[in-house]
Amino acid sequence: MDQVQTHRTSFVRRTSDPRGGSSIQPTTTPAIGVVWDLSDLFSGPDDPRIAAELDAIDRDAELFAARYRGTIDVAGGPTPEWLRAGIEALEDLSERQWRISGYAHLNYDQDTRDNVARALSQRVEERLTSPRNAVVFFDLEWMAVADEAATRLIGDPTLQAYRHYLEAQRSFRSHRLSEVEERLANEKDVTGSSAWARLHTETTAALEVRVSLDDGEQHLNLSRALALLHHPDRRVRRAGHDGLYAALANAGPVLTFAYDTLIQDKRTMDRLRRHLDPMASRHLGNELPSSAIESMMRVVESAYPIAQTWFRTKARLLGLSDFMIYDQYAPLDQREHSVPWSEATILVEDSYAAIDPEYGAIAREVFAKKWVDADPRVGKRGGAYCSYPSPKLHPWILCNFMGTPRDVMTVAHEMGHALHAMLSRVQTPFNYHSTLPLAETASVFGEMVVFDRLLASETDRSARLGLLAGKIEDAFATVFRQNVLTRFEQMAFAARSEGRLTSDRLGDVWIEANRAYYGDAVSLTEEYRWGWSYIPHFIHTPFYCYAYVFGQLLVMALYRMYKEEGRSFVPKFQSLLAAGGSGRPDDLLRPLGVEINDEVFWSKGVDELRRLVAEATSLSHPEAR
């Protein structure tokens, strides 16, 4: 399906933390037992309402088709009232599908090893293909309406609430297939791209990473292994690095074949849909011109020396002559910090309340009503995300909390998504979800508020430097590294045009993309060639990663405005969040003075990175102590 279709009528919406969630591996896991409550959806995978609702959705989709087929693409177009009634009926069907598919996915992510959860997830996906196919005609008929009639309808007051939705759908006119072909594509995905994506998820979730430490060999899942790369002890970081990439190499043939197949599947669909570039459908779905994204990425690449300078400074501070890839996230404050879950939730609540009391109340509700799953147990999906399927529901947060300050920032990030979800519930279902670049706005903003409160409360210079370094490196991961990931995807797709991708070829491309960022400031290991293989965005949402770059740079500029304007900034910010996906990103951002096509704007965000590095560098000099 095209991105606009995925964006507007997908069954579950997730936005995730680009850093992958947890960090240092402490001796305890203070979020044990913190699991979410999914009973607002269904009581369990055996809830009889699931089968009943699937049957009802099938019937109602057929009734919808019988009522509206052939009535949209008519001479002069349908009446505004009829078109609105059709959209509202389609919204209702879509919302019901989101609800049931959302439950299946959330239930599956709790334990990807659970055969009952696996079976339900696949059964729901298969069953919902039929109602999706039954209603696919509606958008196709709307796209076929003559321009003059479509323009009149889009401007009609009766359809004002759906103006943006109708315009966005028509932007895909030249890329849609016939109804028969669209239905075949949906059927194919169940045993095609969706199946390969599920295989990748289950393979990475089941990885057993063997790490040799002083107290013996540990067997860790992916999230816990990644956490070791942030450990203060270099021997532990190296052991985590070696174990992680050895496990990925062992799974390499499966991960490579899955990714190669998914790339070729997308290349095939792009060719059939007449997309000339593999990023084109993502740009259309994000409603952003490719020129703006390329401009943004060029600005970011020109700023790579900022990161390289910082890595050299960090090597000096750590006393390392050979700064390795597994050293980049080494904490400068060598003391281990463990934050209890209860303290983390209070900090996040208070930080959001400092922006606006309503925001704090939303955060308290999310925690109090058990909408968060933070327990880093075996079998659970790694990383972190916030799922908010429908404006008639509430958000659910998944993270793997292991008690570090960085984990607190991850919770703050996902709470921002939850805030965005709650504020935009004033929108209709088709206007609910913002495009991917704007989806990061509240999450990054919330992170920055929490960070400032942590920094303001810290009087110890070493601890302050450690906090600043952590913030800088998280920003680097969100701006520079996500830019690298996007370039890697471009290069991988280009390489696939020359033939099947092997592990060696993907490793070469990965190192080439990363070398541009790290330069000679960071040494890349041979094992790091497998660094591409566990990135879920490559598998589930190709070319998602530049949305993180967009969101981080955007919010760094907006946050500067907030600090300068104070409380008067909040209503403008809230209007942006409440707007959801009811407008194009450039239109929604313009009231805040943002012009996304202007390289000067993107440079403002980069200047904030430069300022943070300068502040940390100044604090690192002996005379500053």
Cα 197 off chain centre by? 16
For residue 18, name the pLDDT band (cuts at 50, 70, 90). low
The residue whose two tokens read 């969630």 is 21
Radius of gyration of the chain (CA): 24
The string of pLDDT tens digits covering residues 462-485 is 888 988 998 999 899 999 999 999
Tell me the DSSP string of 289-355. -HHHHHHHHHHHHHTHHHHHHHHHHHHHHHT-SS-BGGGTT--SS-S-----HHHHHHHHHHHHHHH
The more confident residue out of 335 and 480 is: 480
Q: Which residues contact 46 (CB under 8 A, 6 or more apart)?
A: 116
Report the alpha-carbon distance of residue 368 to residue 391 in Å, rounded.
20
Residue 582 pLDDT > 80, yes or no?
yes
Report the alpha-carbon distance of residue 349 to residue 362 in Å, rounded.
8
DSSP three-state, residue 211 = strand
The average pLDDT across 252-270 equals 97
Q: Which residues contact 55 (CB under 8 A, 6 or more apart)?
A: none
Q: Is the distance from CB of 604 to CB of 560 less than 8 angstroms?
A: yes
DSSP three-state, residue 510 = helix
Kindly report the three-state secondary structure assignment for every residue of 352-380.
HHHHCHHHHHHHHHHHHCCCEECCCCCCC
The string of pLDDT tens digits covering residues 118-152 is 999 999 999 999 999 999 999 999 999 999 999 99
Which helix (H) or strand (E) element contains residue 396? Answer: strand 396-398
Report the alpha-carbon distance of residue 386 to residue 434 in Å, rounded.
14
The residue whose two tokens read 């680097």 is 476
For residue 250, name the pLDDT band (cuts at 50, 70, 90). very high
The average pLDDT across 429-433 equals 95
Residue 9, token pair as written in the block: 């009528």
Report the alpha-carbon distance of residue 362 to residue 230 in Å, rounded.
31
Report the alpha-carbon distance of residue 597 to residue 75 in Å, rounded.
39
The average pLDDT across 35-44 equals 96
For residue 307, name the pLDDT band (cuts at 50, 70, 90). very high
Q: Is the distance from CB of 599 to CB of 295 less than 8 angstroms?
A: yes
Residue 592, token pair as written in the block: 């805040």
Report the alpha-carbon distance of residue 108 to residue 297 in Å, rounded.
35
Residue 425 pLDDT > 50, yes or no?
yes
Residue 251, token pair as written in the block: 């799974």
Q: Give the pLDDT of residue 358.
A: 96
Q: Return mean pLDDT, the chain.
A: 91
Query: What one-character DSSP code corresponds to residue 127?
Result: H
Q: How many CB atoms are closer than 10 A to CB 583?
A: 21
Strands 209-213 and 216-220: antiparallel
The residue whose two tokens read 């003059």 is 148
> Hey, what's the torsion of the CAs at 431, 436, 437, 438, to 10 degrees?
30
What's the burial of 274, exposed, middle or buried (CB within 10 Å: 0-12/13-18/19+)?
A: exposed
Residue 1 pLDDT > 60, yes or no?
no
Cα 566 off chain centre by? 29
Report the alpha-carbon distance of residue 591 to residue 129 in Å, rounded.
40
Closest to 17 (Cα-Cα) out of 282, 493, 296, 385: 385
Which helix (H) or strand (E) element contains residue 397? Answer: strand 396-398
Beta bridge partners of 220: 209
Report the alpha-carbon distance of residue 412 to residue 353 in Å, rounded.
12
Report the alpha-carbon distance of residue 492 to residue 308 in Å, rounded.
25
Report the alpha-carbon distance of residue 424 to residue 421 in Å, rounded.
5
For residue 301, name the pLDDT band (cuts at 50, 70, 90). very high
Beta bridge partners of 16: 385
Kindly report the three-state secondary structure assignment for every residue of 593-613.
CCCCCCHHHHHHHHHHHHHHH
Q: Give the pLDDT of residue 91.
A: 96
Q: Which residues contact 356 (CB under 8 A, 6 or more apart)?
A: 570, 574
Give me the helices (H) in 379-481, please: 405-423, 436-439, 441-456, 461-476
Residue 327, token pair as written in the block: 């050293």
| Sign of the CA dihedral with 405 first, then 410, 414, and 420 last | positive
The string of pLDDT tens digits covering residues 80-115 is 999 999 999 999 999 999 999 999 999 999 998 899
Report the alpha-carbon distance of residue 211 to residue 238 in Å, rounded.
10
In this prediction the pTM is 0.82
